Each structure stands twice: as structure tokens, then as C-alpha cells.
Amino acid sequence: MTASLLKHRAFIGLGSNLDQPSTRVIEAIKALDQLPLCRVAQQSPLYLSTPVGPQDQDDFVNAVVELHTAYTPLALLDQLQRLEQTQRRVRLRHWGPRTLDLDLLLYDTLALLSPRLEVPHREMLNRVFVWAPLLDIAPEATLPDGQAIKTRVPLHDRAQLKRIPLQDND
Ligand code: ROI
């Protein structure tokens, strides 16, 4: 696929709390890069974050990637859900129940509210494990209304995330 045809810019949030969550996230980033109409243009560091929601589960590994794509938002969502299911199926077979979440955070300057998909992601500004890695790779990212994301979040909360060193796999 010629790079110039991948004209849409999307940001994808990744999360896993497998017992080897870093590996799951790294493999998911590779799988995104190998999708037919997609290329990973940038990836954030991996972060360890305490769970939002039920606390009786392991910490998560989170990251965000910038994807250049020719897919429409809903076609991209299909691909993300397919990758999630593939990972889940593999995990169920070999390692028991596991999770991988792939969330479409932003797609160009699109604002979309449909039964299947909400863009920007509804919780994006409320979750430090989403907006902090996003700002790492796109400090000037904006919402569809043009507001800079960095002005809409409590930047000091970044300290809650623990950056995972590259060589430290899980
Ligand atoms: N908490 C963290 N820290 N990271 C996640 O990716 C994540 N994903 C979820 C819920 C259960 C909301 N909590 C999370 O789906």
C-alpha cells in the first residue's frame, strides 16, 4: 500500500492485563502494522497503570499508537475487534481467559456518535493511561472542536503511570 493512500490519521489505545501484558501489547502493535490498509506511524512508550474500575485485578499495560490508514472509522473498528478476538481465542486456548483492548480514540477531526462507535472515545480525557501516552506521541493533538487535549487534562496526573523500560518484558 502506497503511503500516500493511507491518508487518515487515527489514534488507538491499547490495554492488557495478561500475565505477560507487555508482550500482548507489543504483538498487538505489530498486528496493527501488518493490517492491509494500515501502518503504525508512531508508538508511545508502554506504561504500567493501576486498574480503573474493579481493583481485584492485575495492573494494566497501556500504550497508544498513531495509525495511518485507508479504512473508514467503522471498517477500522471491525479490524480492531477482529484482532481483539484473535488474541482472545489464542489466549483462551493456551493461557486461560485474558484481555486485550483496542480502542479507537481519535480519527482525523471526526466527531461521531453512532450505536457502534463514539469518536473521540468517550472516556479519553478521564483516563490518564489513555491521554498521557497519546500526548507523548502527539503533544499538539486536538479534539474535533479544535481544543488542544493538553489543555483539557490534569497533566500532573502523568506521575501515576510507571514507564516500562524497553528490555523489561513483563
Ligand atoms: N484500567 C487501566 N489502568 N487500563 C486499562 O486499559 C483499563 N481498561 C479497562 C478498565 C477495566 C476500564 N480499566 C482499565 O477496560
pLDDT digits (tens, 9 = 90+) for 56-111: 888 999 999 999 999 999 999 999 999 998 887 666 655 444 579 999 999 999 99
pLDDT digits (tens, 9 = 90+) for 15-72: 998 868 999 999 999 999 999 999 999 999 999 999 888 888 889 999 999 999 999 9
Residue 170, domain member (yes or no):
no
Residue 169, domain member (yes or no):
no
CATH of the domain at 74: 3.30.70.560
- Exposure string over 141-166, b if 16+ CB within 10 A, otherwise e: bbbeeeeebeeebeeeebeebeebee
When divided into structural domains, the chain yields a total of 1
Contact 149, 125 (CB under 8 A): yes
Instruction: Give me the torsion for CA of 116, 111, 88, 60, rounded to 10°.
Output: -130
Residue 131, domain member (yes or no):
yes
Residue 81, domain member (yes or no):
yes
Among 1-5, 47-51, 106-110, 118-122, which is the least confidently predicted range? Answer: 1-5
Where does residue 65 rank: exposed (0-12), middle (13-18), buried (19+ CB within 10 A)? buried
Residue 57, domain member (yes or no):
yes
Q: Is the CB of 129 under 6 A from ligand 1?
A: yes
Counting ligand 1 atoms within 8 A of each CB, the residue from 12, 17, 158 with the most, and so the one to mutate, is 17
Has residue 3 got a pLDDT over 80?
A: no
Residue 97, domain member (yes or no):
yes
- Residue 52 lies in domain: 3-164
Q: Is the CB of 60 under 6 A from ligand 1?
A: yes
Report the alpha-carbon distance of residue 69 to residue 160 in Å, rounded: 32
Nearest protein Cα to ligand 1, atom 8: 15
Average pLDDT of 116-129?
97
